[in-house]
Amino acid sequence: MATLNEGPSRIHKNDTAGASDAEVAPSFSVAGGSNLAAASALARPVATSTPSEGRIEQSQLDPLKLIKTVPLVYPSIAQSRHITGTVVVEVKVGKDGKVSSPKFISGPAIFKDAAFEAVVQYRFKPAALNGQPIEQITQIRLNFNPM
């Protein structure tokens, strides 16, 4: 059992004149006498072991895979004006492989609605981390060109 010999508190200062502001370090003693070996054993660092290389495992990430697409509906106004372009949409692919939260990243804004309508119907084999499906954010590039 360790006991603490208390010195004056650094928090509380005496109002008496001539009181010393010097810091006092606490001293420890081990019950049962001055057994320095027992006290020094308390302060020795403990050896830690590092896991062997065979025990360190690396996470395995399987990427998501597109399994279903739908044809793009080319907006009639874009078709009549001969507008073409590539749209990039960011989506969240859930653990079930369904697409949600479409976000327009780039491309002609005239294709935004048609792009969103298409990508929310896409289906993926979800990404998996160590064999467990996970949500993942991905970007889908759609090319709007008249046929």
More confident of the two residues 57 and 46: 57
Number of domains in the chain: 1
d(CA 68, CA 136): 17
Asked if the model's pLDDT at residue 135 lies above 80, the reply is yes
Residue 38 confidence class, pLDDT cut points 50, 70, 90: very low
Beta pairing partners, 144? 85
Give the residue carrying structure tokens 């949500």: 135
Q: Is residue 108 part of a domain?
A: yes
Q: Is residue 115 part of a domain?
A: yes
Rounded (5°) CA angle 14-18-22:
70
Q: Is residue 19 part of a domain?
A: no
More confident of the two residues 17 and 106: 106
Phi, psi of 98 (to 5 degrees): -85, 150
Q: Is residue 28 part of a domain?
A: no
Q: Is residue 18 part of a domain?
A: no
Residue 140 confidence class, pLDDT cut points 50, 70, 90: very high
pLDDT mean over 43-70 = 70
d(CA 70, CA 133): 24
- 77-134 pLDDT per residue, tens: 999 999 999 999 999 999 999 999 999 999 999 999 999 999 999 999 999 999 999 9
Q: Is residue 120 part of a domain?
A: yes
Asked if the model's pLDDT at residue 27 lies above 90, the reply is no
Residue 2 confidence class, pLDDT cut points 50, 70, 90: very low
pLDDT mean over 21-31 = 46
Q: Is residue 22 part of a domain?
A: no
Q: How many CB atoms lie within 10 A of CB 91?
A: 21
Task: Name the strand (E) or helix (H) holding 112.
Answer: helix 112-119
Asked if the model's pLDDT at residue 36 lies above 70, the reply is no
User: What is the value of pTM for the model shown?
Assistant: 0.58
Identify the pLDDT of residue 57.
63
Q: Structural domain of residue 136, as residue ranges?
A: 61-144
- The identity of residue 55, as a single letter, is R
Residue 53 confidence class, pLDDT cut points 50, 70, 90: low
Supply the CATH number for residue 105's domain: 3.30.2420.10
Q: How many CB atoms lie within 10 A of CB 92?
A: 14
